[in-house]
Amino acid sequence: MHALVVDPNGIYVDATFGRGGHSRAVLARLGEAGRLIAIDRDPEAASVGRELARADRRFTMVSGRFGSIAGLLEHIGVQGNLCGLLLDFGVSSPQLDTAERGFSFSAEGPLDLRMDPTRGESAAQWLAHATDAEIAQVLFDFGEERFARRIARNIVAQRSESPLTTTTQLAALVARSVPTREPGKHPATRTFQALRIRINDELDEIQDCLRQSCDLLAHAGRLVVISFHSLEDRIVKRFMRMESRGPVLPKGLPVTADESRGRLRILGKPVRPSPAEVASNPRARSAIMRVAERLT
């Protein structure tokens, strides 16, 4: 909040509303003239946001994917006027805690993993037709799973006998497929992460949103991004670095200083949760926050 809310009367966007924890914290810091717009593609999250909008006139809820942020905000007319944009990637705690959503391998539920369960293929549907090579590639690329090929072969062998339809079925299959386990981590963690990223096209969403962010921010507006694993954080780090350096131009090209400078300034070092925060909220243990400021 300290990094994000630079003007209590400014316009802000929480592009990953979830159940509104960050949004409520922002609203608590805004003045009467301040404004907050939230985005989420999860219908349950959007429903919570609409309730908050009825209770606070400074708040607006928008349903949609944050990768389409510019289009979603176009009719609101805030392009180039945002004082802050917050992105908090990954799955929300209510999604993990609701077995019916299929995000958790520790509770039995349908093998779904969709942020918006009304659109696209579920994880079970995709696993029913994907080749073992496709499955292995997803597990390796998006989960950095060392045993991706073995897990993929076992998934294809299992579905020839009966379809994989529940979270616990897949978790048990992965546990049988992995010969060594990481301390303190369930063997299915990487597989579920990889499938979730694939089903929801998460990494492309992140890149699409970041590309649009600079045009949305006002001068001195803040971009605050929280990532939870190396794939997400790598994209954010590279984007901020690239935008802080400016365009790569041929030597001797006659350009002004403004044309050659970057659009962002990185503020401080990445922030990680303190031991006290991890103790009170273990799901924060892998979080990393990066902050950048929009230049003219």
Residues in the annotated binding site? 20-22, 40, 66, 88, 95
Burial degree of 296 (CB within 10 A; 0-12, 13-18, 19+):
exposed
Whole-number Cα distances in Å, 187 to 6, 27, 183, 190: 42, 39, 10, 7
Strand, coil or helix: 222:
strand
Which residues line the annotated binding site for S-adenosyl-L-methionine?
20-22, 40, 66, 88, 95
Phi/psi for 167 (5° steps) reads -65, -40
DSSP of 84-105: EEEEE-S--HHHHH-GGG---S
- What residue has token string 């659009």? 263
Report the sign of the C-alpha dihedral through residues 103, 140, 197, 264, in that order. positive
Other beta carbons within 10 angstroms of residue 103's beta carbon come to 24
Cα distance between residue 202 and residue 120, in whole Å: 13
Contact 223, 264 (CB under 8 A): yes
Burial degree of 57 (CB within 10 A; 0-12, 13-18, 19+):
exposed
Name the token pair of 142: 């998006």
Burial degree of 168 (CB within 10 A; 0-12, 13-18, 19+):
middle
Cα distance between residue 68 and residue 75, in whole Å: 13
